[in-house]
Amino acid sequence: MLKKRDKRYKRSKMQSNTKIGITTTVPVEIILASGAIPVDINNIFITDVDPGNLVDKAEKAGFPQNTCSWIKGLYQTIISQNIEKVLSPVWGDCSNSFALSEILSECGIEVIEFQYPFDRNIKRLKESFKELYDRFDVSEKDVLKKHDDLQKVRKELKTIDDLTIKGNISGKDNHIYLVSSSDFEGNPDLFLKKIKNRPNIIKKESDDNHRIGIIGVPPIFTNFFDVLEELGFSVVYNEIPAEFSMIKSLDKGFYEKYLEYSYPYGMRFRLHTIKKEIKRRRLKGIIHYTQCFCYRQIEDILLRKNIDIPILTIEGDRPCEIDSRSRMRLENFWELL
């Protein structure tokens, strides 16, 4: 049964400190400029003490078993955390998240919609963002100022990524830092302090034969990076978290960053960046993580057609530890490299 709140969706004035749930990377500068607090629901879901239980609860509410577990986890987390407003792209994420938006509206949650233009047309992107300025009651000047303020955080994330390439920061920590840049943990200043005080510089013997990149949506396995490290892989590229952080377009302006950010614009566009990064990071192999019941699984065909280093495709379903079959396939991949 869907949980209905007392009030049906009602457009309300944006208050300072209102929590805005986000389900993917959105123009976070707009939320921050309004004084509201961005909350990436994905990160809350996957770091919950029992994310599997959240998926179970969503199924009890009616979500089909053959639906992506990220979507079910997002739904249940939004309900459990009493999030009242969600900013969600209706184009540029996935059709499941579009259906999720409709369910959330039905539950009385205010869903603020926008879209990334699939043709990467800057005029359409600006129009879409400018509608959000009205909704969040901010001016373009406020937003551009916020973008400039965030540059110092993104520069630090770039330093972290460069250290990962050198082997001084683990692939797991790289993933955590970069993936957190979707909402800067709600407070960019505190987040910057935290990442500057990072304790985890490592000095590893570099194993050139096992330098790999992780392509695809964030893995739902709870011990994914631990297993890779245990097997001896050096993860030096986390594609989607790197895209979230926008570190590759540090020198670009606000709107241009959201056009360079490849995730909403299809695999053919993503491939340009992936190919460049394979060379720059001297990758010897790629693990393509795919999510069960996600349309992006089909993109594996394009990846394999266009990339000429070994690729292992690993699929996850529910949030849990890596199953023994996938682990064995990872071991074989290590041998192959």
Binding of residue 33 to ligand SF4 (CB under 6 A): no
* Region of 51-59, 142-150, 267-275, 290-298 interacting with ligand SF4 (CB under 6 A): 290-298
Smallest gap from Cβ 70 to ligand SF4, in A, equals: 4
CA–CA distance from 202 to each of 173, 177, 213, 225 (Å)? 11, 15, 19, 15
3-state secondary structure of 323: coil
Which of 34, 77, 88, 96 touches ligand SF4 by CB under 6 A? 96
Q: What one-letter code names the amino acid at 61?
A: A
- Binder of ligand SF4 out of 70, 116, 177, 233 (CB under 6 A): 70
Under the criterion CB under 6 A, does residue 76 sit at the interface with ligand SF4? no
The 10 Å Cβ neighbour count of residue 318 is 15
Among the listed residues 211, 230, 216, 177, the one whose alpha carbon sits nearest the alpha carbon of residue 284: 211
Least gap, CB of 138 to ligand SF4 (angstroms): 28
46 binds ligand SF4 (CB under 6 A): no
Query: Which residue in the set 71, 104, 112, 157 belongs to the binding site for ligand SF4 (CB under 6 A)?
Result: 71
Distance of CA 167 to the CA centre of its chain: 23
Shortest separation between residue 167's beta carbon and ligand SF4, angstroms:
29
- Residue 240's SS3 state is helix
- By the rule CB under 6 A, 296 interacts with ligand SF4: yes
Is 190 or 295 the residue whose CB approaches ligand SF4 more closely? Answer: 295
Q: Could you tell me the smallest distance in angstroms from the CB atom of residue 230 to ligand SF4?
A: 25
Report 133-172 residues binding ligand SF4 (CB under 6 A). Answer: none
Instruction: Return the amino acid letter for 95.
Output: S
Counting residues that bind ligand SF4 (by CB under 6 A) gives 10
Residue 164 beta carbon to ligand SF4: minimum distance, rounded to whole angstroms: 24
The yes or no reply on residue 214 touching ligand SF4 (CB under 6 A) is: no
C-alpha dihedral, 38 to 262 to 93 to 164, nearest 10° = -60
Give how far Cα 22 sits from Cα of 28, 87, 114, 120, 301, Å: 9, 5, 12, 21, 29
Please report how close the Cβ of residue 217 comes to ligand SF4 at its closest, in angstroms: 4
**The dihedral sign for the CA sequence 267, 38, 155, 214:** negative
Question: Beta strand 234-238 with 211-215: parallel, antiparallel or unpaired?
Answer: parallel
68, 179, 212, 240: which one binds ligand SF4 (CB under 6 A): 68
Cα(335)–Cα(154) distance, rounded to whole angstroms?
36
Smallest separation, CB 194 to ligand SF4 (Å): 26
| Cα distance between residue 28 and residue 245, in whole Å | 11
- By CB under 6 A, name the binding residues for ligand SF4: 68, 70-71, 94, 96-97, 217, 291, 294, 296
